[in-house]
Structures are given as structure tokens and as C-alpha cells.
Amino acid sequence: METLIQQLINGLVIGSVYALIALGYTMVYGILGLINFAHGDVLMVGALTALQTMMFLMGVAPGMSPVYMLTIALMVAIPVCITLGFLMERLAYRRLRNAPRLAPLITAIGMSFLLQTVAMILWGRNYHTFPQLISTTPMQPIEGVFITPVQVIIIAASAAIMIGLSLLVTRTRIGRAMRATAENHRVASLMGVDTNAVIAFTFVVGAALAAVAGVMYASNYGIAHYGMGFMPGLKAFTAAVLGGIGNLGGAMLGGIMLGLVESFGAGYIEHLTFGFLNSSYQDIFAFIILGLVLIFKPTGLLGERVSDRA
């Protein structure tokens, strides 16, 4: 029983992070039909920028309280990622809106590897220890079940951000413009929506979420390096597809579910395969789920119809 609850908590924590990243994928896909492959690497840039900031702060103001330090790190990482997202859209994706269908995706893949390479140049190949400013001493709310303050904060912050984003999309003027653009570019622009601005805004919001997710991810595992964005990016994409790509609620649901499946899967795979496979196979769950969803329910759990323009 304790293990079960423990897996549940672990799944929720990592699932919240996936959900935040998945939101970025799903918003961009909903509006442009583009899988922004480089989204996971924006997360990596966020984490490493935050790391760099903290190192700097520790140098100049060693006595600074961890909360301030983390806030400042975020305040630096978010604008950096926003700029990055904006530039990617402006310099590359925007020029490819009417290109043959494989071109934007190939560009996005190139972008992903470019970001990783540049990060490798700036920060080297090594794994960096990410300062765990918030206590990682486990608490025991129930006998035998552990949860760290970092994990509590991750779950709470993700929930708050998701609520905020939902309000943004459903209640505000720019949110309405986003939904209109997602529905139909041309019509939206005929109705006076500045679709270029809306698309740029979408990238910016997605990048900001990725920055936050990056800091969470690095804080949770205590590690950051140039390739750290790839796997969570891919898994978050899976989460977005699982929930129904283009659908915000779906991304959140998909993220949490994927986190849970992974956590339970890793915990029980050894029993299930009679010891043949062990938890080093954890990463294949996401791919298997992705395959299954796309084959049996390509619209995802909450997705609408996928138009095939017959």
C-alpha cells in the first residue's frame, strides 16, 4: 500500500512537469499544426540559465535566502526563454508557414539540435549539479510514504499555472484571438485578429512555461545538462497527443497520466516481466503509449476530430 501511494506521488510530481511542457507543445500545434521539436530544448536552456544565475548570485551574495535566489533565477530564465521562443518563431517557423509539409518539422528538428549544440558549447558536456535550494529532506505524511517540499511546490505551482493559463485562454481578449487563430488563420485575420502577433504570443507563453518546467525538473532531479530537455520534451509531446493535441485540458490530463503510468510502470515492470526487464526500460513506456494512442485513438482522450480534408 505504501509503495502504491509513493508511486502515485512520484507520478504526480513528474506528471505535473510533463503537463507544463505539454501545454507548450499543444498550444503551438493547435495554432500552427507544427510539432515544435525544439520545445524540450527551451526547457533545457531555462534550467541552465537558472543554474548560471544561481551560481552568480552565490558568488556575489552568498547569504541570500534561497527563496529570493530561486525567484531571481526564474526572473532571468523566463525572459531568456521567451526571447528564444520569439526568435525561433520569427526567424525560422514564420517563413515556413506555406512550405511543403515536411519542411517545418525538419527545421524544428534542426533547431532542437542547434540549441543542444550551442548549450554544449556554453556549458560543456558535463552534468551539472543543480542547487536544491528548497529542502529535499523527505517528509513522511503517512508512515513509509515520502514527499519532499520541492515536490509539494512543483505540484502546487503547476496547478496554479495551469489554472492561470486556462483563465488566460478562456477569459481574455488575447485568449479569444488565440482560439480564433487556431480555428482558422485566414478567417481570424479577416476578422481583424493580428495572427502573426497571436502566433508569436503563443510561442512566448509556451517558452515561459518551458522555463518554469525546466527549473522544476532540474530541482527535482538535482541535475542539469545540455541534453536534459530531449526526453522530457518527447514525453511531453506524448502527453499532449495522449490528451488530444491542440486541447489544453488534454495536455494537462495527458501529462499527469503519463507521469503516473511511468511511475507505476517503472515500479512494477520487473514483476510483470518476471525479472526480464527492469526499470532501465522506463523510457519506453512513453513511446509505447504514444504508438498505442496514435493507432487506436489518434484524436487522444479529449481531442476533437482530426480533419483529413477529404
Partner 1 sequence: MNELVSAVPWLGKRNPMAARWLIIILALAAPIIAWQFGRSWVRILDFALLYMMLALGLNLVVGFAGLLDLGYIAFYAVGAYTFAFLASPHFDVHLPFWIVLPLGAAFAALAGIMLGFPVLRLRGDYLAIVTLGFGEIIRIFMLNLNYPVNITNGPQGINMIDPINLFGWDLSRNLQVTETFSINSLFLYYYFFLLCVAGSILFIQRLQISRVGRAWAAMRDDELAAKAIGINTRNMKLLAFSLGATFGGVAGALFGAFQGFVSPESFSLMESIAVLTMVVFGGMGNIAGAIVGAFVLALLPEILRDVAVPLQQTLFGTVILDPEVLRMLLLSLAMILMMLLRPSGMIPARARYAHAENMKREGAQ
Question: Measured from the CB atom, is 23 or 165 closer to partner 1?
Answer: 23
Identified binder of partner 1 from the candidate list 183, 194, 283, 304, rule CB under 8 A: 283
Distance from C-alpha of 183 to C-alpha of 30, rounded to nearest angstrom: 8
Identified binder of partner 1 from the candidate list 44, 207, 286, 302, rule CB under 8 A: 286
Q: Up-side HSE of residue 116: CA atoms within 13 Å toward CB?
A: 19
Q: Would you count residue 272 as binding partner 1 (CB under 8 A)?
A: no
Q: Would you count residue 291 as binding partner 1 (CB under 8 A)?
A: yes
User: One symbol per residue from 87 to 106: x for binding partner 1 (CB under 8 A), - otherwise; what is it?
Assistant: -----x--xx--xxxxxxxx
The least CB distance from residue 298 to partner 1, in Å, is 7
Our CA angle for 75, 161, 178, nearest 5°, is: 100
Q: Would you count residue 107 as binding partner 1 (CB under 8 A)?
A: yes
Distance from C-alpha of 66 to C-alpha of 132, rounded to nearest angstrom: 9
> Of the ranges 12-20, 151-159, 189-197, 287-295, which one interacts with partner 1 (CB under 8 A)?
287-295
Identified binder of partner 1 from the candidate list 59, 62, 63, 275, rule CB under 8 A: 275
Cα-flanking dihedrals φ and ψ of residue 61, to 5°?
A: -135, 75
Q: Where does the chain have alpha helices with state H?
A: 2-32, 39-60, 66-91, 102-123, 149-171, 173-183, 185-190, 195-221, 230-243, 248-272, 284-296
Question: Measured from the CB atom, is 49 or 107 closer to partner 1?
Answer: 107
Distance from C-alpha of 253 to C-alpha of 242, rounded to nearest angstrom: 8
Distance from C-alpha of 290 to C-alpha of 15, rounded to nearest angstrom: 15
Instruction: For residue 36, give the 3-state DSSP assignment.
Output: coil
Q: Would you count residue 155 as binding partner 1 (CB under 8 A)?
A: no
To 10 degrees, what angle do helices 195-221 and 149-171 make? 170
The least CB distance from residue 56 to partner 1, in Å, is 22
The least CB distance from residue 31 to partner 1, in Å, is 15
The least CB distance from residue 101 to partner 1, in Å, is 5
Distances (CA, A) of 13 to 149, 220, 253: 11, 9, 13
C-alpha torsion angle, residues 100, 104, 109, 111 (rounded to 10): 140
> Of the ranges 54-62, 158-166, 260-268, 289-297, which one interacts with partner 1 (CB under 8 A)?
289-297
User: One symbol per residue from 110 to 139: x for binding partner 1 (CB under 8 A), - otherwise; what is it?
Assistant: xxxxx-xxx-xx------------------
Distance from C-alpha of 293 to C-alpha of 225, rounded to nearest angstrom: 31
> Of the ranges 135-143, 164-172, 254-262, 290-298, which one interacts with partner 1 (CB under 8 A)?
290-298
Question: Measured from the CB atom, is 83 or 135 closer to partner 1?
Answer: 83
Q: Are strands 145-147 and 139-142 parallel, antiparallel or unpaired?
A: antiparallel
Q: Would you count residue 298 as binding partner 1 (CB under 8 A)?
A: yes
> Of the ranges 16-24, 60-68, 170-178, 292-300, which one interacts with partner 1 (CB under 8 A)?
292-300
Residues forming contacts to partner 1 in the complex (CB under 8 A) are: 34-35, 92, 95-96, 99-107, 109-114, 116-118, 120-121, 234, 237, 241, 275-278, 280-281, 283-284, 286-288, 290-291, 294-295, 298, 306, 308, 310
